[in-house]
Structure 1
Amino acid sequence: MFWRVAYHIAAVEENWGTDVMERARGFYQLISSKAFFPNSPTFTGAGTLLGQLAACFVLPISDDMGRATNGIFQTLRDAALIQQTGGGNGFSFSRLRPKGSLVKSSAGQATGPVGFLRVYDNAFGEIAQGGTRRGANMAVLRVDHPDVEDFISCKTNENQITNFNISVGITDAFMKAVEEDADWDLRFPDVRSPKYKGFTGTVDQAEAAGVPLTIYKTLRARALFQQIVEQAHHNGEPGMLFLDAANRANPVPHLYALEATNPCGEQWLGPYENCCLGSVNLAQSLGPDGGVDWEKLRQDVVLSTIFLDDVVDANQYVPAVPQLKEAALRARRIGMGIMGLGDLMYHAGIRYGSEEGQEFASQVMEFVRYHAMKTSVELAQQRGAFPAIKGSIYDPEALVWQPPTPILPHEHDWGRPQVHWDEIVAGIHQYGIRNAAQTTIAPTGTIATVAGCEGYGCEPVFALAYIRHVNDNGKDLQLTYASPLFEQALERAGIDPETRDEIFDVVMREGSCQQVERVPQDIRKVFVVSADISAEEHVRMQAALQAFVDNSLSKTINFPPEASVEDVANAYRLAWKLGCKGITVYVTGSREKVVLETHATAQTKQKDEAPGAAPVLVPPAASDQVQPELWHESKKPRPRFLAGFTYSVETPLGKAFMTINENGGHQPFEIFINTSKAGSDTASVSEAIGRLISYILRMASPIEPTKRLEEVIRQLSGIGGGRPLGFGPHRVRSFPDGVAQVVEEYLQQRTDRLQNEPLEAESTEAHAAGGHDHPIPEAARPTAQPMLQIGDLCPECGEASFVNEEGCRKCYSCGYSEC
């Protein structure tokens, strides 16, 4: 695979007289050593008939139903073709007229941005992205659009609009109005004006063109800001995209204003633009004695930049949408990024999030950006500058671009060679630059896993130990992962193997080493995970990196479960003030109930819920902000493998066998009931009851599955029939009553298991008369292996390891991703 990719990307160098085989060998060594990986579509598309190598696209949507090439349904068609090739799409819905406004041609009322967003979402739900996964998309609406309030709340129920991330496009004017507690107008060009006919621009362009604006509503800016913050606190969406910050760094303002990003928010693009991304692996640049191998990093960045520039020419794009190739070749955007920052900081003994960590990350990213730009200038000398350079910020005759500067002064010396930005300025004046944009920090969920990074992208490490589920020809293998760097640090501290194993057992349960007293304090200081880092530190790390990224970056600001709405608001304000181009937040557990929890938390809950415990009073102001926690899918998808318990019970309809399967966290997930011969009325009734109970367990509900089973017991218990069976407490009055009794026994045994009480070796007595036994099969007995407890419940494997990271969601246990 590595050779296929290396050769087919290098083949375009024939255009420049380069030795193709020599270049291919260089690319092969670069990626096979895991020093650099391009984005996944490059791996899957290079050298294939598909040949589409880009991961992210932005498509325009104009206020037109069918005549314009960028009309609503023409764009939907283009997006569907892109998703079939493995690309994700971003859209700004801001140009669509508000819901209910006049449509002159039909004398009807407009559907509005949110309505068409739902149309797009339903369409994308039927399209597999690249034939392998559901489509990933981003929807953006300006903060001054009249429908913005509906947009903010359109994903309150997360079973709706499941194929989109959503973000509000924020302006500086809005944030200043929030600070000043000023009024804010929701406005749109007057669709009744003759000047609106044929106009397809933004609100700002309407003002410049003399198209009159209609103010639909005026409200306090802080009230609208609060709506955004409360919804983000509820389930992580919408995010914020800072339009003015992005456009201040727009390399080609003469072509367009930036309005939208790709699905994970790190790549701002103009209409029909796309970008081929790649990441250098910082974990491959570890120097001796906790240092950085700066020379290796420089070499990797140089060759990776050449690789990405070649991808622009090697890409087949989507022939049915010719605007994609035209836009790509016009600006030749590339997105050089990083992965393994967390690994490098562990190696260097620097705490992620600290001021020292912010400066270290800044110095690393400046080094990457500098050598990416230096290489791009050299490529311009050899191959020519990007065609749209005239009028851009890189125009050699009217150079607007200025070298980037750090947020924090660079005072520490980590042995990094000097960078000379004046040489870059001189080079652009003389040769121009090959690529209008050079750097992006993208999500690296798949490629970082393959590369063996502990820290994905620019994120901190999420867990020092976890269980990875691997499907080996239909068999589920559980592989215990432990951080090699953490283990090496423990070894250097002289901790014996037995104690190290005990430490990892605790880390597996807690997700962090911060409360493990056996871990030396100096190791605890460095080996922090995402949950150990404050939200402010997350934001400041993002800003430190953003200063040397000309596009943007994928990062999630993770909050603890007890975070308040005001905590989220403060993060948004800080991100704007520090010059970030966007922000995504996530309050742990806000999207779905965290089933696996620490023993300490579980014991606290038991005390709070104990009989006689004092009620917890919630002030009215706080209770207004409480949102229900949902099991979000309309019906949870079934994982390939589930462990379960099979019972037998005598009923008036004969012997029944009931299998109760559990998902992650020992939650009941489904029930199978078999009685009599297949095809009989008895068998059909038992199957029907099993299906209904299973659906109750898998449907979206704020009530956890065990509570739902308790209600099933209450509904079925005591139902009488014509032929009751047995006597006393084990009397089975009917088939439904027998089902209820088995479910009740299962719940009791489940409680015993979770309280770590030893399972009895003897079989328990059956509920049916005659004392039929139903021992728990050995295969179904819970193992002593610690369960991962670092995130939400994964819809694929059921483990509590589904985390928000890099602007998307991924599972550390099975690799499932919603990026």
Structure 2
Amino acid sequence: MQSGSNDNFANTVIDDSQDPQNKSVLTDAIDETMQRTSAQEDAVYKVVRRNGKVTPFDRSKIEVALTKAFLGVEGGVAAASSRIHDTVRVMAQQVNDNLFRRMPDGGVVHIEDIQDQVELALMRSGERKVARAYVIYREDRAHARAEKAEQTAPKKTSKKESINITTSNGDTKPLDRNRLRKVIAEAVSGLHGVDQETVEKEALRNLFDGIPEEDVGSALVMATRVNIDKDSNYSMVAARLLLDNLRTEALTYLNGRHTEATQAEMAKRYPATLKKYIKQAVELELLDEELTRYDLTKLGAALKPERDHQFTYLGLQTLYDRYFIHTDNDVRFELPQIFFMRVSMGLAINEVNREERAIEFYNLLSSFNFMSSTPTLFNSGTRRPQLSSCYLTTVPDSLDGIYSSIKDDALLSKYAGGLGNDWTRVRGLGSHIKGTNGKSQGVVPFLKVTNDTAVAVNQGGKRKGAICAYLETWHVDIEEFIELRKNTGDERRRTHDMNSANWIPDLFMQRVAEEGEWTLFSPEEVPDLHDLSGKAFKEAYEAYEEKAARGDMSLFKKIKAVDLWRKMLGMLFETGHPWITFKDPCNIRYSNQHVGVVHSSNLCTEIMLHTNDDEIAVCNLGSVNIAAHTTENGIDMPMLEKTITTAMRMLDNVIEYNYYSVPQARNSNMQHRPVGLGLMGFQDALYKQDIPYASQQAVEFADRSMEAVSYYAIQTSSELAKERGTYPSYDGSLWSQGILPIDSIELMEEQRGEYYQVDKSTSLDWSTLREHVKEHGMRNSNTMAIAPTATISNICGVSQSIEPTYQNMFVKSNLSGEFTVINPYMVNELKDLGLWDEVMINDLKYFDGSVQQIDRIPENLKAKYATAFEVDSRWLIEAGSRRQKWIDQGQSLNLYMQEPSGAKLDNLYKLAWVRGLKTTYYLRSMGATAMEKTQESSSNVRENVAPEAPESVGSAAPAACSILDPDCDACQ
């Protein structure tokens, strides 16, 4: 911003003709407009002004204030445009929604909270100049008000302002300031960079005489969370204040009268509260009666109340909104440590020494060293414990089979399962139907029905139903399949709510690399291709091509492989789908290939299990918090071994305990017992070791950390086999042949040849483990899969899965609302260097959490705190390749591209194939309007969406660039 622009902003908003003595600007405009009498005297939403008075909320006043803001920066002509008018109207609605998202029945907000939301709306909409001027001017006005208040304040006063609160029965009583101070003191205890006096002052500012008792707690939380962008520890303070609200809500319900308790007092109440909770939840038919038969006294004594203080605000609010057990009228009466114990009791329900195991499981979950997946957290201990995360199905080529599969999708999705459907067997458009002597409409119309099923079954409002459809690249409907998510064309052949993925055989990638031709078939004419991979697939496919060339096939189409590849990449860039996944490595390295074929992955592309008409594959997930096991010197191996030993037992326990809504799922899970142990907090672990994500050190850490997880997961499964027996289909598996995941690399090399380039280094004693597996077998057919961990990483307060940092400061939106997220590692380092101040905070806001354009920040920190779009995705591929060699299933691997082009996408996905990845997940790219700044605004980041596909999308790699050339910059 040019010098003097802030003055121009202020002066332009001034209306001298109305009030030459009192010059108003944007922030004061909001103050003034909120003070006016509303036409609705009984307005549900109210505003606390700075003088403590309460007035009705009127959204139209925000529109007036926003319009003045644009006038201040862009002038009258620009601000009068229809674009600005529409932008203001949309932003005002966003402010309204964000303020009152959690107050559907009415509530009270402070004027500063409104201004915070206006600031966020400006930033998210990309109006950077207006937002920056707004931020700076807000600070100026705050200082001016403070100086005026100091000058006009009375010298001394012995009388405190009286604040009364209104109870639920209409009575009033004085605000208990002593308890308020005690709760705030607990909230800031042990946290650096936060100030009790500041929190108390902000809290009192949000309170007014007559405030409803139930609104006091919310006012304290809202008063605190506005400071999160100043210091990340305020997120912990807000969580602890929220926790006080939860205690009051739960204890009041369980005791039948208004009950409050500080955290210190709660330490004594927790054991008795667990008993009351279990009894009440069983009576309400929310929990399994079997939980009452535990020794609740023993379990209550094992609770660790101090662990309530580990949460960030986002983590605790997420638990409160989506996970805690609640009554029909939405009263939460489950507290954090009781929640973890309830989940643990469910997982231990079939153990012999179940109290001891429940305590063991509780200690692991409540420490955040490991977290079970969302369905397990939702449903463990309930009357219908559907704990599995993922289901994979294959759809038959018959009308009855198709609609039976869609029904199965609905039943599985109902209880929080994510679905992957293989549609390759369904005959293509134009193929002959014997029963009617007609022509098939192909796969697409049935996908439309499936799409609408996913929308209709939204898992009780806890999270959206979600399905991913997979189709092999040789299917004659592949070109239509690729266009499912387009915003143009026949809506009856579009699926805007469902994910899709290409299931690509190696032969197609080889044809692309060699610029050969590709033939599309209808599956009823080439039925064995569906079950073949590697060299066997190549031999059969080429035989069918010869048959088609002779004219012996009725439905086929020949195209250039590179043209189809370009279309795949073009649609991926334009619509985000279909994802790129690779059939052959999923099958050739599959540990249980003797009993079936992997026909697809799952919703999030990390599960690789076989399916058939009698088996719906199931996987049970959980993630190790790798950051909690990492110090500046690397991984704490004994700690990691202990965590995985317990975690694998928990995952294995899910299989018997799980509720199965369809018999094919139970049949498959009991036969093969697959589980998926993953990890989260990878970026945090790098921060702890002072390692940039875009570095060879990070690639090596990805290798060594996954090797350790793989070693202990396999070791534990083998120990469980020694204790409980091997899984029923063990004989004939790769395990039974002494072939571990790291050994199956050789199988891939044999099948793919020169197009497979994977590091094979190891550091642990795999020979001893291999012998242990040969002797004792395995309890689980599969043991590892890295899931996205989008929600459970929030609960634990660590970075998502294996992802790089999205931004160092941004606003995260989910079903629980909007939350300011700031990188605590960055904040602490900048504090140590004396660089964390108001200027730095404003610079980070302006540059949308990027440090690259801030001159004061040292270069080593710029490298360390590079964000996802500032890290070359080839580093993600290389790290993913190192992990994949250890994993018997797969990993959800997002790729980021700041300025995509056809050549970049071509080389990136070819690199993924050559480096042995089984699948890729989302391609995340920037919108064109975000390119105005070197580092783009979070408001313009769109998953998988670009305004238009550039002409270069899908173009072949330059002739000089071979995907096997180790010296080519695009291939490293």
**TM-score of the superposition, structure 1-length normalised?**
0.66
Partner of 2:796: 451
- Give the alignment partner of residue 885 of structure 2, picking from 539, 547, 554: 547
Partner of 2:718: 377
- Cα separation, 1, equivalents of 2:705 and 2:419: 30
Paired residues for 1:160-175 under 5 Å? 160-175=494-509
Does the aligned pair in 1 maintain the 2:881–2:915 contact within 8 Å? yes
Does the aligned pair in 1 maintain the 2:576–2:943 contact within 8 Å? no
- Give the alignment partner of residue 670 of structure 2, picking from 318, 323, 329: 329
Does the aligned pair in 2 maintain the 1:189–1:203 contact within 8 Å? no
- Cα separation, 1, equivalents of 2:597 and 2:943: 40
Q: Are 2:495 and 1:495 aligned? A: no
Residue 587 (structure 1) shift: 4.8
Partner of 1:41: 375
SS in 2 for 1:12: coil
Deviations 1:84-140, CA, capped at 9 Å, x for gaps: 111111111110111121111111211211221112112222221344332111111
Q: Are 2:903 and 1:575 aligned? A: no
**1:578/1:469 CA distance change after superposition, 3 Å:** closer
- Give the alignment partner of residue 395 of structure 1, picking from 715, 736, 752: 736
Partner of 1:516: 854
Does the aligned pair in 2 maintain the 1:53–1:317 contact within 8 Å? no
- Cα separation, 2, equivalents of 1:95 and 1:105: 17
- Cα separation, 2, equivalents of 1:9 and 1:152: 41
Question: Gaps spanning 5+ residues in structure 2: where?
Answer: 1-338, 746-756, 946-972
**1:568/1:496 CA distance change after superposition, 3 Å:** closer
Partner of 2:684: 343
- Cα separation, 2, equivalents of 1:161 and 1:550: 32
SS in 2 for 1:584: coil
Paired residues for 1:595-744 under 5 Å? none
- Cα separation, 2, equivalents of 1:13 and 1:535: 45
Q: Are 2:249 and 1:249 aligned? A: no
Does the aligned pair in 2 maintain the 1:337–1:439 contact within 8 Å? yes
- Cα separation, 2, equivalents of 1:353 and 1:505: 26
Q: Are 2:826 and 1:486 aligned? A: yes
- Cα separation, 2, equivalents of 1:483 and 1:82: 37
Q: Which amino acid aligns with 2:918?
A: K
Partner of 2:363: 29
Residue 171 (structure 1) shift: 0.8
**1:135/1:468 CA distance change after superposition, 3 Å:** closer
- Cα separation, 2, equivalents of 1:253 and 1:525: 43
Q: Are 2:952 and 1:791 aligned? A: no
Paired residues for 1:246-325 under 5 Å? 246-271=586-611, 272-287=616-631, 289=632, 291-318=634-661, 321-325=662-666
Does the aligned pair in 2 maintain the 1:513–1:524 contact within 8 Å? yes
Q: Which amino acid aligns with 1:72?
A: I
Does the aligned pair in 2 maintain the 1:92–1:260 contact within 8 Å? yes
Of Structure 1 and Structure 2, which has the larger fraction of its residues in strand? Answer: 1
SS in 2 for 1:583: coil
**1:94/1:86 CA distance change after superposition, 3 Å:** same
Does the aligned pair in 2 maintain the 1:235–1:586 contact within 8 Å? no
- Cα separation, 2, equivalents of 1:400 and 1:40: 29
**1:180/1:338 CA distance change after superposition, 3 Å:** same
- Cα separation, 2, equivalents of 1:793 and 1:326: 37
Deviations 1:615-664, CA, capped at 9 Å, x for gaps: xxxxxxxxxxxxxxxxxxxxxxxxxxxxxxxxxxxxxxxxxxxxxxxxxx
SS in 2 for 1:181: coil
Q: Are 2:805 and 1:465 aligned? A: no
**1:300/1:790 CA distance change after superposition, 3 Å:** farther
Partner of 1:105: 435
Q: Which amino acid aligns with 1:48?
A: T
Q: Are 2:421 and 1:91 aligned? A: yes
- Give the alignment partner of residue 780 of structure 2, picking from 415, 435, 442: 435
Does the aligned pair in 2 maintain the 1:164–1:263 contact within 8 Å? no
- Give the alignment partner of residue 462 of structure 2, picking from 107, 132, 147: 132
Partner of 2:72: none
Q: CA RMSD in A?
A: 2.9
Residue 284 (structure 1) shift: 1.4
Does the aligned pair in 1 maintain the 2:394–2:599 contact within 8 Å? no
More displaced stretch, 127-136 vs 239-248: 127-136
**1:575/1:600 CA distance change after superposition, 3 Å:** closer
SS in 2 for 1:517: coil
Deviations 1:413-448, CA, capped at 9 Å, x for gaps: xxxxx6211112101111111111111100111100
SS in 2 for 1:485: helix
Q: Which amino acid aligns with 1:309?
A: D
Partner of 1:765: none
- Cα separation, 2, equivalents of 1:4 and 1:118: 39
**TM-score of the superposition, structure 2-length normalised?**
0.56
SS in 1 for 2:521: strand
More displaced stretch, 574-583 vs 511-520: 511-520
Q: Which amino acid aligns with 1:33?
A: S
Percentage of matched positions with identical amino acids: 28
- Cα separation, 2, equivalents of 1:203 and 1:251: 16
Paired residues for 1:151-190 under 5 Å? 151-157=481-487, 160-189=494-523
Does the aligned pair in 1 maintain the 2:827–2:836 contact within 8 Å? no
- Cα separation, 2, equivalents of 1:468 and 1:188: 44
SS in 2 for 1:57: strand
Question: Gaps spanning 5+ residues in structure 1: where?
Answer: 412-417, 603-786, 796-819
Partner of 1:800: none
Deviations 1:6-52, CA, capped at 9 Å, x for gaps: 111012222xxxx2111111110100111111110001111112210
- Cα separation, 1, equivalents of 2:368 and 2:434: 58
- Give the alignment partner of residue 475 of structure 2, picking from 136, 145, 161: 145
Q: Which amino acid aligns with 1:273?
A: A
Q: Which amino acid aligns with 2:893?
A: K
Of Structure 1 and Structure 2, which has the larger fraction of its residues in helix? Answer: 2
SS in 2 for 1:422: helix
**1:585/1:12 CA distance change after superposition, 3 Å:** same
**1:341/1:226 CA distance change after superposition, 3 Å:** same
Deviations 1:772-813, CA, capped at 9 Å, x for gaps: xxxxxxxxxxxxxxx854723999xxxxxxxxxxxxxxxxxx
**1:261/1:22 CA distance change after superposition, 3 Å:** same
SS in 1 for 2:485: coil
Partner of 1:61: 395
Q: Which amino acid aligns with 1:572?
A: Y
- Cα separation, 1, equivalents of 2:835 and 2:905: 42
The aligned length equals: 576
- Cα separation, 2, equivalents of 1:188 and 1:175: 20
Q: Which amino acid aligns with 1:460?
A: P
Deviations 1:130-162, CA, capped at 9 Å, x for gaps: 443321111111111111111111212288413
- Cα separation, 1, equivalents of 2:943 and 2:732: 50
- Give the alignment partner of residue 530 of structure 1, picking from 863, 868, 872: 868
**1:329/1:21 CA distance change after superposition, 3 Å:** same
Does the aligned pair in 2 maintain the 1:463–1:790 contact within 8 Å? no
Q: Are 2:352 and 1:7 aligned? A: no
Residue 404 (structure 1) shift: 6.8
SS in 2 for 1:274: strand
Residue 401 (structure 1) shift: 6.0
SS in 2 for 1:338: strand
More displaced stretch, 461-470 vs 230-239: 461-470
Partner of 1:646: none
- Cα separation, 2, equivalents of 1:104 and 1:793: 43
Does the aligned pair in 2 maintain the 1:91–1:140 contact within 8 Å? yes
